[in-house]
Structure 1
């Protein structure tokens, strides 16, 4: 096996990333590495880290995260938005910045070499750092705790809902968060966000729609409301429901509802619910950007019509 073949094999197990140390161990010289990078055959991801394929594939984001952590040496770990991404927790817009922390007892790099790399020095307790796909990262609980301190209400509650829905944190875990927040900047607002978390929300769009309804004085009676016929057969499940009004609101995200098969299934389900006497409202992300629109629409649908 040639050095380049060996390096490709190593990179394949690391999201398409290889370090200078690994390339040297495979048999390349520093001059050869430099030539491969400057000629465009390799892409430099971070200091001492490369993608040996020129252009990165679909795992580019995780490759860059892995490279950023590796470039800061032993003890570095992903935090904040980047940790959310590694854990698969939704709720924030994806940021081009990679957030990495170095231990507090190590010198903080003044020039990490990448303008999109944000270096922190966060104090961690024992057990606050785990490994995901070989990358050191804060635990889901520590991650959401750190994030909700820095976010406004809607994204913060969306993050909490996503972590709960995915089973990455539990209600018992969240009961410990006030202690973790004590004395930290933003703790008062973050404790309020905890009280609004609901793991039944299956997307940030559902969370935002629910919060708009709550703010507008028409909170849903149920989330993931099951509607069954007289024989107990399931007719459909509504994202937000008002059982007494026989009203359901659906949060239609572009991803899960955009495929033709999903659209057809949604229409069949809606027909079953309408025939059973339920009314269906549908809301999109753009609707949640207008504070009054969703609650007004729900209130109109609940009002008796002549």
Structure 2
């Protein structure tokens, strides 16, 4: 049973299985079990290097009872929605009468008092969590513009929500703090972005008044052979911008493939620019570099 639940059991589950509180404490002292949170334990703890993140989340939700659910950035994490800043804090929601005392139970858990309709709750591998659409609606109210649009793009790209689904968000967030700004962020969502870095690069271009006219631009030769796909493209001046993250572009094989693809594009008359996460931290750098490339292309 524990193995199917990320190695986590609660004290209530242990007692239901016939273990006494004394026996649970003895297992913890022996190192075979490890306390993750009050009332939540990692079984066969010596099999793990530390406590896995998913186990921490499962233990937190389970230990707070059947009315608890993962929300906000923790819900996004469980759904695989990228964009929010990484944090070790676990965000849960509980009904009003029990939320306040629960806040004192663990410093690693933030307990919110959100009104969540039954239809807005789902389960991810058995963990109660707000639905992708409700999660997105909550986060666009709380995150800054860049992180919020990253969340929207990621949820769309992964197929967790659709453009039609997002039409319901203004109604869901009506009269809530941040709703006006959130509606403008919805208008900037584009599910073609395949990573937060691509989203941030696009937003820097938009803010610098040099918006791309294509995303995931396919470049083909006269015979229709695919030379490459650019993350962002400016078709007139034949400029492509690539978002170079640590993940898909970081392996030796990926670096080799990227170089060969870039050579094909350059030989076909395209300018290829490459931007990293650090580049997005400077508001002026990306649009300035793109503008220079466009100007140079028009002189050729």
TM-score by length of 2: 0.95
Q: Check conservation: 2:139, 2:148, Cα contact below 8 A.
A: yes
Q: Report matched runs for 1:1-306 at 5 Å.
A: 10-54=1-45, 56=48, 60-104=52-96, 106=98, 108-304=100-296, 305=299
Give the conservation status (yes or no) of the 8 Å contact 1:70–1:76. Answer: yes
The 8 Å contact of residues 78 and 137 in structure 1, kept in 2 or not, is answered as yes
Partner of 1:214, secondary structure, is: helix
SS in 1 for 2:101: coil
How far off its partner does 1:110 sit? 4.2
Q: Which moved more, 1:294-303 or 1:58-67?
A: 58-67
Tell whether the 8 Å contact from 1:16 to 1:59 is kept in structure 2 after alignment: no
1:47 CA drift (Å): 1.8
CA gap 1:58/1:177 in 2 versus in 1, 3 angstroms = farther
2:99/2:112 contact within 8 Å kept: no
SS in 1 for 2:45: coil
Distance verdict in 2 for CA 1:43–1:58, change over 3 Å: closer
SS at match of 1:255: coil
Residues in 2 aligned to 1:185 and 1:211: alpha-carbon distance in whole angstroms? 24
Distance 1:108 1:50, change over 3 A: same
Spell out, residue by residue over 1:250-297, the C-alpha distance to the aligned partner (whole angstroms, 9 max, x if none): 000011111111111111111111111111000000000000000000
Alignment partners' CA distance in 2, 1:182 and 1:176: 10
Task: Specify the SS of the correspondent of 1:197.
Answer: coil
Q: TM-score scaled to structure 1, two decimals?
A: 0.93
Return the offset for 1:60: 1.1
Alpha-carbon contact 2:36-2:51 (below 8 Å) kept: no
Match of 1:3 in 2: none
**1:71 CA displacement:** 0.9
Of 222-231 and 23-32, deviating more is: 23-32
C-alpha contact 1:15 1:59 (8 A) present in aligned 2: no
Residue 107 of structure 1 deviates from its aligned partner by 5.3
Q: 2:138 aligns to what SS in structure 1?
A: helix
